[in-house]
A and B are shown apart, each in its own frame.
Chain A
């Protein structure tokens, strides 16, 4: 039926996945934005805070490092991943990939995996710089926990970004929404957490993604024992991943029209 030089076999999935991972990684590397957002920005915060009284104002070195880690995950998830996805949908990169024999889950998974891997490397670098800058000595278990919390945080922010791209169709609207969302999440997590906005805000902040992650990071870095607040934070993060990823996948559309 079909022979003579025409290739009719289903291409191997392994090769397809490797090619996608390689390309997505090169996009991140060549684009530089993600590297800047996930590594340089947090490092700048760490270093800037060693000068003056910033440290005491924000409440201790573990909180500052926790903030730097959280910020790296937040910005690269919401700006790096989300805006790139929206842009690629807008100009038709996703449509082009979708007419190849690669399954659609693979196209998405590859992007997510590359982003999470970058976040992990970034988190390790930020923690090492932070520990050096503030003279903390962390044991291997703490490094492993930082990595585990980073995976959770990366997943939460990627899921939130995915939900935005799933619910909002226009790229310029996504640009605006992510900016507002970013400010809201930061304000809620940081200011709400200090208690100056009142007790209600403080408990909301504990459940917010930024607040929850900062709690988990700070407790990891302090090597404090597991508390009820950590359980709240962990449950909150898992909840964000589950709910937002479901929304983001369920309503995701591959083209912008």
Chain B
């Protein structure tokens, strides 16, 4: 189920084929395939426990796939892990920075890990747009949940990544920060970066993503532009039964994945 938008000769930024991830023998990602092109925002959607984070973890090298292949800019994730990691920028769904480090110190640590030298002034300038410019001396443990999330997002974009992986980036953000984040993501796309993100906000996915994929129980159900997906599925009986008026991406999502709450 790959879309054919690639320009000939240019490798996809990300190419996943037949990915399978299992934890202790239980398969949670089952034969997922998709591609992401340069300058594309791709949304991975699915109910809780669908396998979104597990898919990202395989790309990030945090879990080893049971089978399938993962190529980032033509490089195999398993064979060249460090070279691949240098192309990625990552914000994890649940992760943390060292409690005892200040924003300033965290920024300089992660910049250094990606080979970027940042002066104090640069950190101050860069963190102003995310509203952290005046908190640079604060330790990570002293930040509010939303500030921690904003710091994680700022760290994820310190250098110019080829592929940015964002796992529920808007969770816990206030409306102002969320707007700011989407603006920033669109700027990154304009510069030629690609973004793979997960979100539970179907309105945001519909508004921002160039393409989306819906997965459930580890299987990819459908993939395409939001408008294509709505067109393709709008006459399905389950979609019709949940839609009020013109079907939205959320109606398609619920139509395809059912309305029961996941455990």
On A, residues with C-beta under 8 Å from B are 1-2, 4-12, 15-16, 18-20, 22-23, 26-27, 30-31, 88, 91-93, 95-103, 254-255
Contact A91 B113 (CB under 8 A): no
Q: Interface size for chain B: under 10, 10 to 19, 20 to 34, or 35 or more residues? A: 35 or more
B210 touches A (CB below 8 Å): no
Q: Which residues of B lie under 8 Å from residue A98 when comparing CB positions?
A: 61-62
Complex CA distance for A26 and B191, rounded to whole angstroms: 35
The contact of A19 among B60, B88, B113, B193, by CB within 8 Å, is B113
The contact of A93 among B74, B98, B113, by CB within 8 Å, is B98
On B, residues with C-beta under 8 Å from A are 10-11, 60-62, 73-74, 82-83, 85-88, 90, 92, 94-98, 100-101, 105-106, 108-117, 139, 159-162, 191-193
Q: How far is the CB of B209 from chain A (nearest CB, A)?
A: 20
* B-side interface mostly: loop
Contact B109 A20 (CB under 8 A): yes
Complex CA distance for A101 and B117, rounded to whole angstroms: 15
Q: Which residues of B lie under 8 Å from residue A30 when comparing CB positions?
A: 100-101, 139
Nearest residue, chain B, Cβ from A254: B62
Contact A11 B115 (CB under 8 A): yes
Nearest residue, chain A, Cβ from B109: A23
Q: Which residues of B lie under 8 Å from residue A88 when comparing CB positions?
A: 98
Q: Which residues of A lie under 8 Å from residue B162 when comparing CB positions?
A: 2, 6-8
Complex CA distance for A100 and B159, rounded to whole angstroms: 12
Q: Which residues of B lie under 8 Å from residue A8 when comparing CB positions?
A: 73, 86-87, 162
Complex CA distance for A60 and B193, rounded to whole angstroms: 69
Contact B73 A1 (CB under 8 A): yes
Q: Which residues of B lie under 8 Å from residue A92 when comparing CB positions?
A: 92, 94-96
Contact A7 B11 (CB under 8 A): no
Nearest 9 CB-CB pairs, A to B?
A: A19-B112, A11-B115, A92-B95, A30-B100, A101-B86, A91-B96, A23-B109, A96-B95, A101-B85
A1-B73, A5-B160 known; A23 vs B101 contact (CB < 8 Å): yes
* CB pairs A–B below 8 angstroms (5 shown): A6-B192, A22-B105, A23-B98, A27-B100, A103-B82
Contact A16 B113 (CB under 8 A): yes
Q: Which residues of A lie under 8 Å from residue B117 when comparing CB positions?
A: 15
Contact B95 A22 (CB under 8 A): no
Nearest residue, chain A, Cβ from B88: A99
Contact A9 B86 (CB under 8 A): yes
Q: How far is the CB of B11 from chain A (nearest CB, A)?
A: 7
Q: Which residues of B lie under 8 Å from residue A9 when comparing CB positions?
A: 86, 115
Q: How far is the CB of B102 from chain A (nearest CB, A)?
A: 8
Q: How far is the CB of A20 from chain B (nearest CB, A)?
A: 7
Given A11-B113, A96-B97, A101-B85: 14 more A-B contacts, CB < 8 Å: A5-B192, A6-B162, A7-B114, A7-B159, A10-B83, A11-B116, A20-B113, A23-B106, A26-B100, A93-B95, A99-B90, A100-B110, A101-B114, A254-B62
Complex CA distance for A50 and B191, rounded to whole angstroms: 69
Contact B92 A6 (CB under 8 A): no
Contact A6 B161 (CB under 8 A): yes
Complex CA distance for A88 and B62, rounded to whole angstroms: 16
Complex CA distance for A124 and B83, rounded to whole angstroms: 42
A6-B160, A27-B100 known; A16 vs B112 contact (CB < 8 Å): yes
The contact of B113 among A6, A26, A31, A102, by CB within 8 Å, is A102
Contact B105 A96 (CB under 8 A): no
Q: How far is the CB of B21 from chain A (nearest CB, A)?
A: 14
Contact B94 A1 (CB under 8 A): no
The contact of B97 among A93, A99, A102, A103, by CB within 8 Å, is A93
Complex CA distance for A6 and B195, rounded to whole angstroms: 13
Q: Which residues of A lie under 8 Å from residue B109 when comparing CB positions?
A: 19-20, 22-23
Nearest residue, chain A, Cβ from B93: A92
The contact of A101 among B62, B82, B95, by CB within 8 Å, is B82
Contact A6 B193 (CB under 8 A): yes
A5-B160, A8-B73, A11-B86 known; A96 vs B100 contact (CB < 8 Å): no
Q: Which residues of A lie under 8 Å from residue B111 when comparing CB positions?
A: 19
Contact A15 B62 (CB under 8 A): no
Contact B11 A1 (CB under 8 A): yes
Q: Which residues of A lie under 8 Å from residue B97 when comparing CB positions?
A: 93, 96
Contact A100 B101 (CB under 8 A): no
Contact A95 B98 (CB under 8 A): no
Nearest residue, chain A, Cβ from B10: A1
Contact B112 A96 (CB under 8 A): no
The contact of B85 among A12, A99, A255, by CB within 8 Å, is A99
Complex CA distance for A255 and B33, rounded to whole angstroms: 26
Q: Which residues of B lie under 8 Å from residue A6 when comparing CB positions?
A: 160-162, 191-193
